[in-house]
Structure 1
Amino acid sequence: MFERFTRSARGVVTGAVSHAERTDAASVTEEHLLLALLDRPEGRAAFAATSLGLADRRTAVEADLAAARRRGGLTRADTDALAGLGIDVTEIVARVEEAHGEGALDRARRRGTGRRPFTRGAKDVLTKSLRIAVGRQDRFIGDEHLFLALTACPGVVADVLAAHGATYGTVNRALYGDGGEEGDAGRFRKAG
C-alpha cells in the first residue's frame, strides 16, 4: 500500500515514526500521525489545517493529546461513560500518579529503543486513507486522505480534532469545498 502514497503522505508516515522515536514511544500511534501531519508546511492537508485554524492552535491540540495520554488514552466519551457508572477517571489518574509519579499511565506505554510497530489504530488510519482515496476515485493516497482518515477513525485523535473544529465534514469542505461528498463521513466511519 505504501507505494500508492504520495511524497507528502510518505512524509507524514515517516514523520510519525520520528515523533515516536523522539518520545520513546513503544509504537507509532494515530497521535504521531497527526503531529507529523501538522508538521508539514505545505500540501493539501496543511492547507486544510491552516484554513481550520489548527496551525494556530497546535499548542492547544498538543495539550489535549497530552491530557488524553495522561488519562491512559481514554476519549472524553469514554471518560463520560465511566462517570455515568460512578467511576471518576480523574480521581483514578490522581491516585496512580500519587503512587507512581506524574504521567505514570503514559510511561507504562513507552519502551525505549528498537523498531516501533504501528498500533492497530494507526494501521486503521492508513487503511481508511486508502478507502477514502478509492472512494474519491483518486489514484494515489495523499496527506489529505490521511487527514480525513484521522477524523473518521473513532478515538482520541478524532475527539481532539473535533474539539478544535476539524471533523470529517469540516476537513472535507476545506479540501474540496461544497463539491465534496458530504455523505462520505458516515460511510467511512462505519467501514471497518
Structure 2
Amino acid sequence: MFERFTVGARATVTGAVTHAERAGADSVTEEHLLLSLLDQEGSRASFAVAALGLTDRRASLEDTLREARRRGGLTRADAEALAGIGIDITEIVARVEGAHGEGVLAGDRGNRRWWSGRRPFTSGAKSILEKSLRIALGRRDRFIGEEHLLLALTACPGVVADVLADHGATYATVERALYGDGGQGRARAS
C-alpha cells in the first residue's frame, strides 16, 4: 500500500510520527495524522484545508482535540448519549482528575523508554490509512495522496471526524473543496 503514497502523503505519515514523538505519545494516532496534514503546504489537501478555514482555526482544533483527550477519547456523540441517561462526563472527568491528576484519562504517561525506536500506529490510525486506500480506489486514482488522507479523517467515525465536523469539515465539504461539485457522485469507499 505505501508504494502508492505520494511524496506529500508520505510526509504526512512521517510528520505524524514526529508529532507523536513531540507529544511523548506511546503511539501514532488519528490526531497526529491530522496535525501533520495541517502542517503540509502546496498540495490539493492544503488548499482544501485553507479553503475550509482550518488553517486559521488550528488553535481551536488543537484545543478541541485536547479536551476530547481529557474525556478519555469519548466522541461528542458518546458524551451526548451518556448525558441522555444522566451521566455528566464533565463531572466524571473533574472527579477523576481531582483524585489522580490532570490529564489522567488522556493516557499521557510521559516519556517512556523506547525499545524498538518506533512508535506503533493505533488501530484508528491504521484504519485511516486503509480508508485512504479505499477512497483512492473509489475515485479510480492510482495513488494515495494527502487529499485521500483528509477525506479518510472525515469518513472514519471518531473524535477527529467529530472535531473536523465541528469546524465545518465534513466528508461532503472536504470533497467539494477538493474536487468542486464534480467530485460528488464518486464512491465514498466504505
TM-score exceeds 0.5:
yes
Please give the alpha-carbon distance, in whole angstroms, between the structure 2 residues aligned to 1:50 and 1:184: 24
Contact residue 61 and residue 167 of structure 2 kept, 8 A:
yes
Divergent runs of 4+, >3 A: 107-111, 182-185
Report matched runs for 1:62-77 at 5 Å: 62-77=62-77
CA change 1:183–1:3 in 2 (3 A) is closer
Please give the alpha-carbon distance, in whole angstroms, between the structure 2 residues aligned to 1:11 and 1:118: 15
Alignment correspondent of 1:19: 19
Report matched runs for 1:76-115 at 5 Å: 76-108=76-108, 112-114=112-114, 115=118
Contact residue 70 and residue 93 of structure 2 kept, 8 A:
yes
Aligned length: 187
Partner amino acid, structure 2, of 1:9: A
SS class of match (2:141): coil
Please give the alpha-carbon distance, in whole angstroms, between the structure 1 residues aligned to 2:141 and 2:163: 27
Displacement, 1:161? Answer: 0.2
Report matched runs for 1:39-58 at 5 Å: 39-58=39-58
Report matched runs for 1:147-166 at 5 Å: 147-166=150-169
Q: Which ranges in structure 2 are unaligned for 5 or more consecutive residues?
A: none
Partner amino acid, structure 2, of 1:26: D
Displacement, 1:112? Answer: 2.5
Partner amino acid, structure 1, of 2:96: V
Which of 121, 127, 139 lines up with 2:142 in the alignment?
Answer: 139
Contact residue 24 and residue 113 of structure 1 kept, 8 A:
no
Displacement, 1:109? Answer: 6.0
Please give the alpha-carbon distance, in whole angstroms, between the structure 1 residues aligned to 2:8 and 2:113: 26
Alignment correspondent of 2:173: 170
* Paired-residue identity, %: 70
Displacement, 1:107? Answer: 3.6
Displacement, 1:113? Answer: 4.0
Q: TM-score, normalised by structure 2?
A: 0.94
Partner amino acid, structure 2, of 1:179: G
Q: TM-score, normalised by structure 1?
A: 0.93
- 1:101-145, CA deviations, whole angstroms, 9 ceiling, x for partnerless residues? 111111456663422111111011000000000111101000000
